[in-house]
Amino acid sequence: MNNLGCIFLEQGIDFEFDKVCDCCILHHDNRGLPVLLNNYHGEMIDWEYIFNVKAQRVAKQKEKTIFECENCYHLGEYFFSGERKISEFHFSHCRLCNAKCIYCSDEYSCSVQNYNTYPIIKDLIEKGYYKSGGEATFQGGEPTCMQNFDELIQLFTQYGTNVRVHSSAIKYSETVYNALEQNKGTIVISLDSGLKDTYFKIKQTDKFDIVCSNIKKYAQASKDNVIIKYIIIPGINDNIYEIDKFFRLIKSFGITTVALDLEIQYARKYNNKDVSNHIFLLVDYFNQKAQDLKIKVLIYSFLSYVLKNRNMKKLPKYIGKNNFLCSLYMIRYVDKRKNIEYKR
């Protein structure tokens, strides 16, 4: 008997570009998603069929963790209620985007509009398979470019599902503003920089000022429900100067939470244990800076995976030969935190 599971297996739905799945959690070891419908392009859904597939999968999971879910960080002790309802939503099917981030996969930023999920969610609600109290995550692409994006946000907030929008903030949404103001939603914006030039290098679009102005507007709705993300990109923003500028901006916006992650291809390429110690030190610097400013840091998935797996037992010898790393170490770990050893 296996008591491991997760809410997505039982009550989740994820709309992908050409399929429907339980969740959108791609593993670091390429296990693929738990698919519910293949070759899907926005057709109306036979919900009984979906719940039958889910029930069979859950039955297998109760015996032994299924292939797609092995080593997933969402797996935990879970009680399957047997309820045939959907409470967790992921919209990952939109590939339209108004930025061109250097860390993005080539399949995004295209100009093809994808299928419309609004009628599907309406149908789910009307047929009584909807459960409130969960979360609807909009990602992409750029979700504000999705068909019926505003209508979907309104629908979920009206029916009691919290919304989480991952946006470039190049396009402003009044509906998202309202959800934030009513404490029914969160927006996560990847700024990745504190300077206009760095932003341009990463996003390959000259919208830094517009994005900063939109962040300020969203922050007026709620300072706590706006999360600004910093993805560490080797060779571009992996330095103290940029991190300092980033925090100066965050402070001026009045934002209380930031998120930190590592650029996905980098994490994959270096396969966690080979990730440079320079990155680990920057993570520590970032955390210390946030702590000094009383800003909360969320460590996002790829970085948390990398951090969990790092196995440095002591300060690596080469740091002593590198002026930058050495001074960073001295400033952060010897001067300011005298009692804290460098433990890994």
For position 108 contacting ligand SF4 by CB under 6 A, the verdict is yes
Q: What gap in Å lies between CA 131 and CA 87, rounded to an integer?
A: 5
Tokens of 80: 């399957």
Tokens of 189: 């914006």
CB nearer ligand SF4, residue 25 or residue 258: 25
For residues 278 and 312, the answer to whether their CB atoms sit within 8 Å is no
Would you give the binding string for ligand SF4 spanning residues 48-77, x where CB under 6 A is met?
Answer: --------------------xx--x-xx--
What counts of helices (H) and strands (E) characterise the chain? 12, 12
For position 192 contacting ligand SF4 by CB under 6 A, the verdict is no
Would you give the binding string for ligand SF4 spanning residues 122-151, x where CB under 6 A is met?
Answer: ------------------xxx---------
Q: Which residues have CB under 8 Å from 203's CB, separation 6+?
A: 99, 100, 101, 168, 192
* CA-derived radius of gyration, the chain: 21
C-alpha 89 chain-centroid distance: 14
64 residue type, one letter: K
For position 179 contacting ligand SF4 by CB under 6 A, the verdict is no
Minimum distance from residue 131 beta carbon to ligand SF4 (Å): 17
Minimum distance from residue 310 beta carbon to ligand SF4 (Å): 22
Minimum distance from residue 293 beta carbon to ligand SF4 (Å): 26
Looking at 17-25, 238-246, 303-311, 328-336, which segment touches ligand SF4 (CB under 6 A)? 17-25
Minimum distance from residue 104 beta carbon to ligand SF4 (Å): 3
In angstroms, the Cα distances linking 260 to 127, 257, 287 are 40, 10, 9
Looking at 92-100, 174-182, 298-306, 310-318, which segment touches ligand SF4 (CB under 6 A)? 92-100
Minimum distance from residue 160 beta carbon to ligand SF4 (Å): 22
Burial letters 289-298, b for 16+ CB under 10 A, else e: bbeeeebebe
Q: What gap in Å lies between CA 281 and CA 315, rounded to an integer?
A: 10
Dihedral angle sign, alpha carbons of residues 294, 218, 230, 30: positive
For position 26 contacting ligand SF4 by CB under 6 A, the verdict is no
Q: What is the DSSP string of 156-179?
A: HHHHT-EEEEEE-SSS--HHHHHH
User: Is there a cis peptide before residue 141, judged by omega within 30 degrees of 0?
Assistant: yes
Q: What gap in Å lies between CA 66 and CA 149, rounded to an integer?
A: 33
Looking at 47-55, 97-105, 173-181, 281-289, which segment touches ligand SF4 (CB under 6 A)? 97-105
- The DSSP bridge pattern shows strands 76-77 and 4-5 to be antiparallel
Looking at 20-28, 39-47, 212-220, 260-268, which segment touches ligand SF4 (CB under 6 A)? 20-28
Looking at 22-30, 150-158, 263-271, 301-309, which segment touches ligand SF4 (CB under 6 A)? 22-30
CB nearer ligand SF4, residue 140 or residue 185: 140
Would you give the binding string for ligand SF4 spanning residues 154-173, x where CB under 6 A is met?
Answer: --------------x-----
Contact residue for ligand SF4 among 11, 92, 109, 144 (CB under 6 A): 109
Question: Which positions lie near ligand SF4, rule CB under 6 A?
Answer: 6, 8-9, 22-23, 25, 34, 68-69, 72, 74-75, 97, 99-101, 104, 108-109, 140-142, 168
